Structure 1
Amino acid sequence: MVRVPLGTTGFSPSPVAWITPVMRVWSAMRGQRKNLLRPRTCVPQHREVEMRSPLRWSRAALAWSAGILLCCASLVGAQGTGTVRGTVTDAVTRRPVDGVQVYVAGTDLGTLTNSLGQYQLNVPAGTLELRVRRVGYGSTSKRVTVAAAEVATTDFQVSTAAIGLDAVVVTGTGAETERRKVANTVATIDVGNLVNAPVQNVSEQLAAREPGVSVLPSGGLAGEGARIRIRGAASLSQPAEPIVYVDGVRVDRTGGWGDYVGTGGGGNPSRLDDINPEAIERIEVLKGAAAATLYGTEASAGVIQVFTKSGARGAPRFDFTSEVGFSNFPNDRYKQNYGFARYANLADCVARLPDTTSTQSLCRAQGVKFADYLSQFYGTTIQPYQVFSRPFITSLFETGINSNYSASVSGGTAAVTYFVNGRLQKENGPWGASQLGPAQDIDQKAQGSASLVVVPTDNVKIHVNMEYVDAHHETPSNNNNIFGTISVAIFGHPEQATCYAGSLPTGTGNCTLDGNPSSPIGPGNPDGTAAFGTVREDMQERLRQDAKHFTGSIQTTYQPLPSLSLSATLGVDAVNQVSSDFAPFGYNVDNFIGFDPQGYKFLDDRTRREITAEFKGTWSRLFGPTLNSRLVAGGQGFIAKLEDAAGSGELFPGPGLEVIGAGSIQTAYERFLETVNAGVFAEEQLGYKDYAFLTVGGRYDRNSAFGKTSAGVFYPKAGLSVVPSALSGWGNSALTSSISTLRLRTAIGQSGLQPGAFDKLTTYSPLAADVGPGLAPNNLGNPDLKPEISTEWEAGTEIGVLHDRAAVDFTYWNRVTRDALYPRQFPVSGGFRNVQLSNIGRIDSHGLEINLTGLPVNRSSFSLKLFANAAYLHEIVTSLGGAPPLKVGGSYPRYRNFVKEGYAPGALFGAKLVQPCSQRPAGATYACLQPGQYPYDLNKDGNFDTDADLLAYFAVPHSLNSVLPILVDENGNGDFLDHYFGKSTPDWAGAFGLKATLFRNFEVNSVFEYKTGNYTITNLTDAFRNSNASIGRNTLRAATVESTILNPASTAQQRVDAAKEWLTLRALSPYDGLNQNENGKFLRWRELSLTWNVPGTWADRRFGLRHLSVNVAVRNLMLWTGYTGIDPELNEYGRGGAGSDLGGIDNNFGDGIDAFGLALPRRVTFSVRFGF
């Protein structure tokens, strides 16, 4: 039972319904203002109500905070007010500038300009300083005198600038602070600049915007979430993803399908993309521990804070967006499926095989490989050993359709402003083949956002934010999954295609009930699948997820004194996510698949709640004319609870059953965990003459996951920012006259990551046995477990030249993670066989970040802005505390990413063939090849084969399975799979592009993104296709090699040449890592858009609109790369693909693994935006 203020039990999410009782309270209190000098208390009445729903709990808590602060506000008097309004325009083009912050210096009073550049602000009567600023423009100010109950008009003109030190940031500073005063890196992404970009979620808004912020898409399925890394990985085992806040409330940043349902790795949705992109004003990013100290434990991987839009005073303003588009996979990135017929017909097979009693049966079993049958099946003449191909993969693709409709309204009065947005987004991706089964590629979201700002007095502000999304997601089974639809199509052999009893070949490579291409599909294996199941059978499986996500917060700010501001934030983030994997009874429609042909269903119900509470105070003072101080202190706490209940039912007794309770074999699963983190923080900033700023601060944290003997942890920070160009007389000398802005900065700080909720505890698992239930040892436990700590320092400079029309921002950073949590095996004689996390590791990292911006042309008829950024990253695992290396994927041998001392985390190791002696280092003694030798010993004479040996051996055909190359063991330790092949993260990554305005009203935006430098990708797709005897050897090169070696008509020399080619194709066990690594560097034309901003007067005269724009945009337009696989950005582990909690070796370092995924599609959109 929770006590709440009277009248709040029926709290409505509607801003209008909510504000009514609050304003009644305020009105009642206004009548008592004449008695302010008489001491009194405010005690709200209460009644008890049952609070089961987290949403109901949060509503009560929000209303309680509002009541308390309104009650306190009644003790403060108000002064007379007036109004100032005007228009902000570009100083050169004279076009209105929207999204400009207009505020009263030294107060919290402010607003934003609308699309016409107009603003209106209620201010105290008197003379005040009005300032304006916006990212990409220089700031300016004017002194204005406003009389009580009067309106003053003040217009501004702003000039574009490549550098903006007056921009305000909040994240990491504890309070609003001008960028010039912040010693560490805080990146700001102004979402208003992306309104014309081809982006449809938060992940795409972040991509290619800031150096050091890597957005890693894992595939091209609809709604597939991206992983996010900031300055690499700060942990070996804990989540490498940054924590995410929305309006001060920590939100669910995970992805995937829960604990019990999976796709094979791809198609995983991201909870981060639940955030409504149409409601975002800006995104701030803290790039490391030096910046994230005030966020304490969990922040060493970085912090992302999303700030949503608020309303502005004035009449209601309505804005609409209508967008439609289409998408396609790049067919040219997919190799066709190749094969060849072994025999002309049955008689040819019998004649060529040894004469035994079983010859006829053996040949009939190989009937699908006969050239005469294949000629009939495909409707074309096919000769024995003639390599031919079929587009099995691309035949499953179609044109995807996407749409996005958004509507918003904003406005308000001096006391209340509001912003409400609704968005409906639908995408049916380019995965097709609906004629084969119900598996789909769909992502749908219905999103709603609301912001309400109440200003009951001049020194009290209440800000309420709410966001809700109802998401539906479907995807086919995919990636490295033997039952994945795309995997099975990739494995297909065209020479093994056949129709089964009950259907006939159409002559076009398909099977129908009567052989007519327009008739219903009949049973068969037209894609030549050699194992697991047919494409049509896998298309019967449906993977679906429905999620409901609510985020709500209330922030109250009270300024009892001009120098003192108090604020409190209370919020909740709640997610209900239900995922299912269902295959109906009899889904083995081709009688091929053997896994649960009577059907199955797996269900996962995941619920996550997180409550955020924060209280802080900001005290600002002037110590004379040269020194100023700002002290921020407060406390912050989080309570996170995760519940995951799941079950399965297999082998349904008949058709039509879709619940797990109908399965003959049933399982159940459940887990829940709760973590609590609380901390106090403080930061002092001293400023000298508005050009030198010293910051010191820290945070003390306690977390429920810390071990019993582990006390709390203190994270300190310090920084210095100096702006020499702010000194009087700057620019008068020849040395400084060409530099319009110069800032130098350096910062150092710490942050951490805590272990999992149960890692410190000794736990046991239930054990079922014939003699009764029991317990088995599970987790050993560690009472000394503590957070790992990252210490980071950075130094940088920002330089503006040519009156800030060109700028460079340069940062060097260095990070050391000590006491890194790493899984360690203790002696199993103690009964605990599982690994235990211990604070034994260390990672050293450093990097560079460079941002270049230029405005070479800025005229009324034509303007051009150029940008380029680059980030360099170097990481090394310096210690594992004596523990052995760990491999991504556990015992699965194909993934070769390792965490190993002396190498970058995720470094690649594998098998290597014996190399020429000319490549062997001096002093080495391992085996090598002399001129004329090859890494074969096919005649088994104990020596490397020569050309003569190979010609003798290949005088007759041989099975490719017997052509086995010889591996080398360079370090002589008996491990043939430990040779270093590179790392799965690039040295350099970045982007460049432009924004051009032509003829005043046309705008072109373009962004290119690149990765390069020691960037190695595991092309596991082609490793299988080139080498595997049953589900591979179906690329052009592999099929040609095998056909040549088997063909009786081939010469010995032709077979020898094919055997030499085979050395570049052989892969997989026992050659894991061989011939599967490639250089992954690429350049991608990420975004291109063309927008016509219809002239305001014309839009108003013809349509009565405030603004109107028409846009066409393309995403993933072009790709330039030498990588021969499907896509250099594919990855087997999508967001949450190795567990929805994001941590662990697989999620952190399973990078650069191309394993049967779907390439990023090219997406074209057409949109119209208008408002009135």
Structure 2
Amino acid sequence: MPMRCSIVFFPKQEVEMISPLRRTNALRTLGACVALTCGCAVLAAAQTTGTVKGTVTDAATQRPLDGAQISVVGTDLGTLTNTAGQFQFNVPLGQVILRIRRVGYGSSNKVVTVTPDAPVTADFAMPQVAIGLDAVVVTGTGVATERRKLGNTIATVDASQLRNAPVQNVSEMLAAREPGVSILPSGGLTGEGARIRIRGAASLSQPNEPIVYVDGVRVDRGGGFGDFVGTGGGGYPSRLDDINPESIERIEILKGPAAATLYGTEASAGVIQVFTKQGSRGAPSFDFMTEQGISRFPKNRYMPNWGFARSDTQATRLGQFYGTTVQAFVPFSRNVVTNNLFETGYANTFSGAVSGGTSAVTYYVNGRYSHDDGPFGNRRLGPANDLDRFAQGSASIVILPASNVKVKVNADYVDRFHMTPSNNNNIYGTISSAIFSKPELARCYTGGVPTGQGSCTTDGNPNSPLAPGNPFGQAAFGTVREDMQEEIKQDAKHFTGSVNLAYQPVTQVSLDATLGVDVVNQVSTDFAPFGYNVDNLISLDPDGYKFLDDRTRREITAEAKATWTTKLGEYFQSTLTGGGQGFVAKVEDVGEGGEHFPGPGLEVVGAGSSPSIYERFLSTVNAGVFAQDQLAYRDWAFLTVGGRYDRNSAFGKTSQGVFYPKASISLQPSSLSGWNSSALRSNFSTLRVRGAIGQSGLQPGAFDKFTTFSPLTSELGPGLAPSNLGNPDLKPEKATEWEVGSEIGILNDRAGVEVTYWNRVTRDALYQRQYAPSGGFRAVQLSNIGRIDAHGWEIGLNVLPVNRPEFSLKLFGNAAFLHEIVTSLGGSPPLKVGGSYPRYRNFVKEGYSPYALFGAKLVGPCSLRPAGATYACLQPGQNPYDLNGDGQFDTDADLLAALATPRSLSSLLPIRVDENGNGDFLDHYLGKSAPDWAGSFGFSATMFKNFEVSSLFEYKGGNYTITDLTFAFRNSNASIGRNSERAARVESTLLNPTSTAQQRVDAAKEWLTLRALTPYDGLNQNENGRFVRWRELGLTYNVPTAWASRRLGLRYVSLKASVRNLMLWTPYTGIDPELNEYGRGAASSDLNGIESNFGEGIDAFGLALPRRFTFSVRFGF
């Protein structure tokens, strides 16, 4: 076949990233490859190929199906249907077998004869099925493979099936779709990224986030603002959500070592691979989408701020301030959070795409713009806001220079701006300040006049400019208005590009190579202007400050593999795959700070009179080789064995690499030719059993093997202080996992069940070992001394009770059970989340779940004390007080005598118990912050052919404990708390001179259920966290295609209305059971460490997940 190639070289050039101080040429190699590839033009291919075209529809509803995979059996040739269900591509001349597949539908084959004279038409009508094993997957298999041939589980999320769902990013696309895959939102601020856990925690110290690939290229899985800028815990963006959701075709998920062995080191926490859309042959087709949305926080989850006047004089002043009647010792309330920090958020999104191509080149290009101004903010108080803005672009080009050669070029780019307020457990956070408000402390300062409506202005007119004051009643740190002056922002640019070359020299052999790069450059800033102490309360750098973090991450992925398929006799077939994979990752993080501006109007770091600087550079290299052979027997029994050998620059000098083996078996008797006539067929239309075992690992940090020192300043001059205690013997921790399972289809596959049991053991787990400080190092040393055992069940159910042209209904549900135990810490003591901060009670402790909670307990009734126990307990009539100091538990009579006169809460000290007698009153097991069970259920339906409705519910429960630190402070803290309704009533009763002794006794007993915080950490701050949340509801109307074509000249038009986070049912009385103090990347920019891994279930002054209402229009021509 004659060809002409023109090779084009671009002149050497550099691409400027965000920072003006740094330039990178990481894209030059990729650009040259694209130019070389695109410069080759095919002059003659028609002599050996012909064209096949057709339309794919739903067999019951006759609706066109997009995203269906059409392939030529025995080759790598294939394409996808477009939004009209149409396809067209070139195939070899002669008789070929076409195979059609789509998630949720039964596959089928069709034999066609292809000639060069005219296109051959092959239409398909696909029946819906409740269980599908014929879908082709790629991740973790080495080569495109049908699910039924794999002994391990692999989940697929098909983007085309989410068109009716209210999803805005990758995290929402994954949420509640697959058992064992947990998407953990940390709060409700706009643009806040979710954490991802697959089958719990595989490591004690290394990242438990799965590694992420886009079109075969490993990408940044992190988040946050870098090491020099923080918010307090929430509002941290996720780099995973940088991916353009409109460009995604599907997402594949490997759940653990049994499936992820071929990805080697770093894969034991799972693997997520995103596949972007590709074009198909035909004239250019255009698709557009516009979406408008509003979002609101659920106000009913926020309790008012309560307080009371302690004298008639104070009551008179407060009455004038609020313009209402206030009586001494009578609690009153104000809704500080909901009335002053909540607004209606507005969002708009626009997306456009064009796709098409010829027999030689196909293309897909998408652009998306999104602007989401969330439901937090009050411009009158200050500029702090929650805002997320995207400009995204994606492109995919597939070049077919010959029938056995395919070149794919993919590129994704995002320019993202993110803004969030200071938040969560942050004494200078806007939300915490509002939650801590004590209405009785509200007042105006000099220059401020009360408006009579709870605010201070220059002249007492509510519409006049605000004036100095403390209108919400902050007792310390700063007012809400002062905290609202702080602005935390991030500008990020993220590029991912790849070139893939597939070559099939002969029918039995396929060669494949991928080269890609992922580049992230983000600049984060934390700024407060000169004089931002507008109410003269805040003392933190009142002259202003600015901190800047400039982080660049570059990672290059290279992979090459070969596959050889051959017949072994009459019944056996072997598919042998081998290859190599390598990664080079570099991270540069530079932080600069400037404090104490000399005057107003200055907004640059260098203007601060107290400078600070920080710099970090990391470079890691990982390389491995892998091989796998799959042996098939009569296309119903499949045995797979393989392994990978890895080396990593983070391994210690004494570690020479690591080998990870795998093996699996899959048996599908229902595919045997005699199955339909067997007795089992009457009960099971589909039956498969499977099992797999495999290993993968997690590497230590890049510098963990080195002993390092940090600079030290002293009166004697500069010096060095010990920093990291290195370990030359470090090696990757290794997780071994085995799983068994089955898929069963009944009623002609109208109902399907999938069940999996898995068991994982992580040996040589990396753990922060603590040595005696007398050795010279107070810091911990990372060592391979731990072990974690885990097992679980995953169950999925799909039912198609009705499937008719006018009405179809699909019901689904899934559940995952998780049990984890830390079986060994190598003799080291437990580690606590949050270090010395006593409020967090999450511990990693031997013999318990890694999410275990420990804290204080009060002395309880003797009737509940176990037989043989000797610790203190209460006899009938006794109370856990000793107010008279006689060394005995107080009776009610003792309390009546002690409380005959007013008494402060600070003098009421309940008596704690020490059940094991070791002198530690805070070591009582209080539960765990990870649920036993999690899952989802819902339905999707089509009505009157053109209406689609879907609904999704998510649930968690079973030994699930949430730490409600928000109300622990509100109930108990003397200075910035005691502003809940119960705490205010208890305290006012005890202090009121007109209260009776009995009323004070009753209040003292109620105080036993409110007292929390030091020295009672863990007491009265834990609640049952189980919940059911109505996660999604969507309704779509598809305009009849004939009407849209005739009247509007369009291929299709669809209108969608949807809601996210519609309702919540939970016994949890805090703000939201899904809140968490540590957001994605909040504890570390590299996602590792005990806080990121096990700082779960901590509700600390965050914002609930908002309801989001959206309306969108899609159309194409």
Normalised TM-score (structure 2): 0.98
Aligned equivalent of 1:1080:
1025
Question: How many angstroms apart in 2 are the aligned matches of 1:239 and 1:540?
Answer: 34
Shift of 1:622: 1.4
> Identity percentage over the alignment?
72
Report if aligned partners of 1:254, 1:271 keep a CA contact under 8 Å in 2: yes
Alignment of 1:110-121 (within 5 A): 110-121=78-89
Secondary structure of 2:582 counterpart: strand
SS, match of residue 594 in structure 2: strand
Q: Do the aligned partners of residues 390 and 1104 (structure 1) sit closer, same or farther apart at CA in structure 2, a change above 3 Å counting?
A: same
What are the within-5 Å matches in structure 2 for residues 134-283 of structure 1? 134-283=102-251
Q: Does the 8 A contact of 1:289 with 1:750 survive in 2? A: yes
Partner of 1:742: 687
Aligned twin of 1:38: none
In terms of mean alpha carbon deviation, does 895-904 or 145-154 score higher? 145-154
1:547 aligns with 2:492: yes
User: What 5-or-longer segments of structure 1 have no aligned partner?
Assistant: 1-24, 31-43, 346-369
| Residue 470 of structure 1: how far off its partner (Å) | 0.4
- Residues 1:772 and 1:1044: Cα distance change in structure 2 (over 3 Å): closer
1:468 has 2:413 as partner? yes
CA distance in 2, matches of 1:616, 1:221: 43
Within-5 A mapping of 1:277-316: 277-316=245-284
2:522 counterpart residue number? 577
Judging changes above 3 Å, is the alpha-carbon distance between structure 1 residues 119 and 459 closer, same or farther for their aligned structure 2 residues?
same
Amino acid at match of 1:1003: E
Q: 1:615 to 1:1073 in 2, by over 3 A?
A: same
Give the deviation of 1:48 after TM superposition.
Answer: 8.8
Q: How many residues align?
A: 1110
2:1104 counterpart of 1:1159:
yes
Tell me the distance in 1 between the aligned counterparts of 2:45 and 2:239.
45
Shift of residue 65 of structure 1? 8.1
Tell me the distance in 1 between the aligned counterparts of 2:272 and 2:537: 49
Give the whole-Å Cα distance in 1 for the aligned partners of 2:31 and 2:378: 49
Superposed, 1:349-388 pairs within 5 Å as 370-388=314-332
User: SS in structure 1 opposite 2:676?
Assistant: coil
1:129 aligns with 2:97: yes
Matched, 1:28 2:4: yes
1:784/1:486 CA distance change after superposition, 3 Å: same
Partner letter of residue 503 of structure 1? G
For 1:686, the equivalent position in structure 2 comes to 631
Paired residue type of 2:590: A
- Tell me if structure 1 keeps the 8 A contact 2:8–2:35: no
Between 1:50-59 and 1:397-406, the stretch displaced more is 50-59
Aligned in 2, Cα 1:442/1:1084: closer, same or farther, shift over 3 Å? same
Query: Equivalents in 1 of 2:81, 2:1031: separation in Å?
Result: 30
| Counterpart check, 1:60 vs 2:32 | no
Checking the alignment, whether the CA contact within 8 Å between 1:79 and 1:124 is kept in structure 2 is no
Deviations 1:18-57 (A, max 9, x none): xxxxxxx995259xxxxxxxxxxxxx89899476878744
**Aligned equivalents of 1:139 and 1:674: distance in 2?**
46
CA contact (8 A) 2:33 2:499 kept: no
Q: Which residue of the other structure, out of 1101, 1121, 1140, is the alignment partner of 2:1066?
A: 1121
Change (3 A) 1:529 1:559: same
Matches of 2:91 and 2:117 in 1, distance apart? 10
**Among 735, 740, 748, the residue aligned to 1:790:** 735
Find the counterpart in structure 1 of residue 909 from structure 2.
964
Q: Is the 8 A contact 1:62 1:570 kept in 2?
A: no
How far the C-alpha of 1:975 sits from its partner, in A, is: 0.2
SS across alignment from 1:374: helix
Tell me the amino acid that sits aligned with residue 558 of structure 2: A
- What is the alpha-carbon distance in structure 2 between the residues aligned to residue 76 and residue 996 of structure 1? 48
Contact 1:294-1:699 within 8 A present in 2 as well: yes
Q: Match of 1:391?
A: 335
Provide Cα deviations, 1:710-764, integer angstroms capped at 9, x if missing partner: 0110000000000010112213233332211001000000000000000001212
Map 1:421-460 → 2, pairs under 5 A = 421-460=366-405
| Distance 1:880-1:565 versus aligned 2 partners, 3 A rule | same
- Choose which of 1021, 1036, 1050 in structure 2 pairs with 1:1091: 1036
Contact 1:131/1:139 (8 A) holds in 2 = yes
Task: Check the 8 A contact 1:243/1:304 in 2, yes or no.
Answer: yes
- Aligned-partner residue type, residue 869 of structure 1: N
Q: State the Cα distance separating 1:833 from its structure 2 match.
A: 2.1
Asked if 2 retains the 8 angstrom alpha-carbon contact of 1:26 and 1:456, the reply is no
CA-to-partner distance for each residue in 1:513-564, whole Å, 9 max, x for gaps? 1001111111100100001000000000000000000000000011111111
**Matched position secondary structure for 1:1097:** helix
Partners of 2:337 and 2:36 in 1: CA distance: 62
In the other structure, the counterpart of 2:925 is 980
Conserved? CA contact 1:93–1:859, under 8 Å: yes
1:77 positional shift: 9.0
Counterpart amino acid of residue 205 in structure 2: S
Aligned match of 2:423: 478
Task: Describe the superposition over 1:884-930 as per-residue Cα deviations: whole angstroms up to 9, x where unpaired.
Answer: 00000000000000000000002000000001000100000000000
Asked if 1:807 is matched to 2:752, the reply is yes
The correspondence of residues 333-352 of structure 1 with structure 2, limited to 5 A, is 333-345=301-313
Relative distance call for 1:1034 and 1:91 in structure 2 (3 A) is same
Please state how far the C-alpha of 1:58 moved relative to its aligned partner: 3.4
In the aligned structure 1, how far is the partner of 2:474 from the partner of 2:117?
80
Counterpart residue type for residue 312 of structure 1: S
Decide which of 444, 468, 483 is 1:499's aligned counterpart: 444
One-letter amino acid of the structure 1 residue matched with residue 151 of structure 2: A
* 2-structure distance, mates of 1:405, 1:55: 31
The equivalent of 1:321 in structure 2 is 289
Partners of 1:269 and 1:422 lie apart in 2 by: 21
Residue in 2 that maps onto 1:855:
800
Helix, strand or coil at the partner of 2:682: coil
Is the 1:491–1:1032 contact (alpha carbons within 8 Å) kept by the matching residues of 2?
yes
Contact between 2:257 and 2:694, CA under 8 Å: does it hold in 1?
yes
The one-letter code of the counterpart of 1:198 is P
Listed as ranges, the gaps of 5+ residues in structure 2 are 17-22
d(CA) in 1 for partners of 2:1018, 2:10: 68
SS at 1:648's partner residue?
A: strand
Match of 2:614 in 1: 669
SS of 1:779's equivalent in the other structure is coil
Q: Secondary structure at the match of 1:892?
A: coil
Among candidates 546, 550, 553, match of residue 608 of structure 1: 553
Equivalent-residue separation in structure 2 for 1:217 and 1:991 (angstroms): 16
CA distance in 2, matches of 1:554, 1:64: 7
What is aligned with 1:826?
A: 771
Kept in 1: contact 2:851–2:929 (CA 8 A): yes
Q: Is the 8 A contact 2:2 2:44 kept in 1?
A: no
Deviation track 1:150-187 (CA, whole Å, cap 9, x = no partner) reads 21111111100011111000001011000110110100
TM-score, structure 1 as length reference: 0.93
CA distance in 1 between counterparts of 2:1048 and 2:1094 reads: 54
Check 1:394–1:45 CA distance in 2 against 1; reply closer, same or farther (3 A cut).
Answer: closer
Query: Over aligned residue pairs, what C-alpha RMSD do you find?
Result: 1.7
Tell me, yes or no, if the aligned pair for 1:80 and 1:125 is still in contact at 8 Å: yes
Question: 1:839 aligns to what?
Answer: 784
CA positional deviation for 1:830: 3.5
